[in-house]
Amino acid sequence: MACLIDHSEIHPWIQIIPRNLFFHPELIRFTHLDIPLPVGLGEMALAPSLLYSLIEKLDIQKDMNVLEVGTGNGYTAALLSFLGTKVKTIERNRELLKRAKENFQKLEIQLESEWMDVYSRDFDQLPLFDRILVTGGIEGDYNFLEKKLNPKDGILIFPFGGEWDIQKIITISYQNGIKKIEEGAVCRIDGLKKDLTER
């Protein structure tokens, strides 16, 4: 059963950056519902309530360097940019990235977007980030993500588990260099596979 988005309880983000602007016209009638929606090419966008809760948990401050793994249709990156962060968003699917860039251009949103696989050498060469948000499930070792996190006061959030598993939201945070790991809500999100070929 789908729930309506409660505008009185959720941030004004839904009004400042309307969700419907990022989806295919045939899906616009569903964008007011609190449900995941397809962005094309077999990928799904998170339900608003889950997405907003993850962004809240990032505890974002203005001018932070933020990495989003999984651009999708660009909606999440747009929200992060609206919060005053310096956003870099990466996407493994070239066609999805192209569509996201078109959305950014249409809405005059300035941010850095790039085609990249998290399991590639290019990812290894990225700098450290204050915040990292992953929107695809991570299966197995996730140390490669943590290596890109500011070790003093960074926060990393990602779904842990295989594509067909019930996944847990994992939060790794540092406060004055002290590491903390939390397990949060369960969900089911598309996985980031190592064997994906370039599309």
Q: What is the mean pLDDT of the chain?
A: 87
Helix then strand count (H, E) for the chain reads 6, 9
- Residue written as tokens 């370039």? 198
Between CA 41 and CA 160 the distance in angstroms is 22
**Average of per-residue pLDDT across 171-195:** 79
Confidence of residue 102 (pLDDT cuts 50, 70, 90): very high
Between CA 92 and CA 192 the distance in angstroms is 9
Q: What is the pLDDT of residue 34?
A: 87
Asked whether the predicted pLDDT for residue 55 surpasses 90, the reply is yes
Q: DSSP string spanning 96-158? A: HHHHHHHHHHHTT---EEEE--TTSHHHHT---BSEEEE-SBB-S--HHHHTTB-TTT-EEEE
CB 72 within 8 A of CB 189: no
The pair of three-digit structure tokens given for residue 159, joined into one six-digit string: 């779904």
Asked whether the predicted pLDDT for residue 9 surpasses 60, the reply is no
Q: What is the pLDDT of residue 8?
A: 44
Tens digit of pLDDT for each residue in 128-154? 999 999 988 888 889 999 999 999 999
Between CA 168 and CA 118 the distance in angstroms is 20
Q: b/e string for 19-57 if b means 16 or more Cβ within 10 A?
A: beebbeeebeeebbebbbbebbeebbbbbbebbbbbbeb
Between CA 12 and CA 156 the distance in angstroms is 24
Q: Does pTM surpass 0.75?
A: yes
Comparison of pLDDT for 5 and 173, the residue scoring more? 173
Q: Domains (ranges, CATH) in the chain? A: 13-187 (3.40.50.150)
Kindly give the interhelix angle for 75-82 and 48-57, rounded to the nearest 10 degrees: 40
